[in-house]
Amino acid sequence: MTKEQWLAIKNHDKTYDGQFYYALKRSKKVCRPSCHKNALRPERVIIFDTLQDALDKGYTPCSKCRPDKESWAGARIELANAAERMVLEHYKEKFSLEAMARELFVDKSYLLRTFKEIKSYTLLEFHNLTRCEKAKELLHKPELSISYIASEVGYVSASHFTQVFRKVTGQTPSQYRTSYLRSLDE
């Protein structure tokens, strides 16, 4: 192992991914240089030029960095994307961080931190944004009441819906509807 390779492993440097792979003697796992394994020691690491070389020697792909998946974005990105999909599929339901973390098999603090780092907004902000985007679609239909729309996107009360909608969009639902309808007349 060269000093450059060791620094790449130690610093989890993504730019070296695909240039070489390293394996851990004890666990028999092979990883990308960017893998976030903790407390590595150089004497416990073996370097391979290709993934196939490591597999041929009996090492198995790490489940954290997935060197066997060429287009794999990473565990943290996959977790954030899975949480995002859950919000999109269940936006009408009351937001429950505990239930989401349990379903994704992670600690709720880790889920919150990871989602915020990857997506640049919190899960609750995304939940409210999603509800407001769905509400905007319904607000284009003047025959639907604000109360009905609030309940359709998952809010129990129209006043809470109005408060959240204003915070997210800068307008009340009524103001949004009025400006939308005016834009159609112009």
pLDDT tens per residue, range 12-24: 888 888 899 999 8
As a whole number of angstroms, the distance between CA 95 and CA 89 comes to: 12
For residue 69, tell me if it sits in a domain: no
Domain that holds residue 25: 3-61
- Residues 182 and 19: their CA atoms lie apart, in Å, by 58
Q: Are residues 27 and 41 in the same domain?
A: yes
**What is residue 42's predicted lDDT score, i.e. its pLDDT?**
85
In a domain, 67, yes or no: no
**Do 130 and 113 belong together in one domain?**
no
**Within this chain, do residues 147 and 179 fall inside the same structural domain, yes or no?**
yes
Q: How far are the Cα atoms of 42, 45, 72, 80, 115 from residue 76, in angstroms, in the given order? A: 26, 24, 11, 6, 8
The answer to whether 33 touches 19, Cβ cutoff 8 Å, is yes
pTM of the model: 0.64
Q: What is the pLDDT of residue 78?
A: 83
**Catalytic residue (choose from 31, 35, 62, 132):** 31
- The answer to whether residues 110 and 145 belong to one domain is no
Cβ atoms within 10 Å of 116's Cβ, excluding its own? 15
d(CA 63, CA 29): 9
Residues 116 and 129 placed together within one structural domain of the fold: no
For 94, the 3-state DSSP assignment is: coil
Has 65 been annotated as catalytic? no
pLDDT band at residue 72 under the 50/70/90 scheme: low
Shared domain check, 112 and 88: yes
Find the angle CA(21)-CA(39)-CA(33) to the nearest 5 degrees.
Answer: 20
Picking from 31, 61, 91, the residue at the C-terminal end of a domain is 61
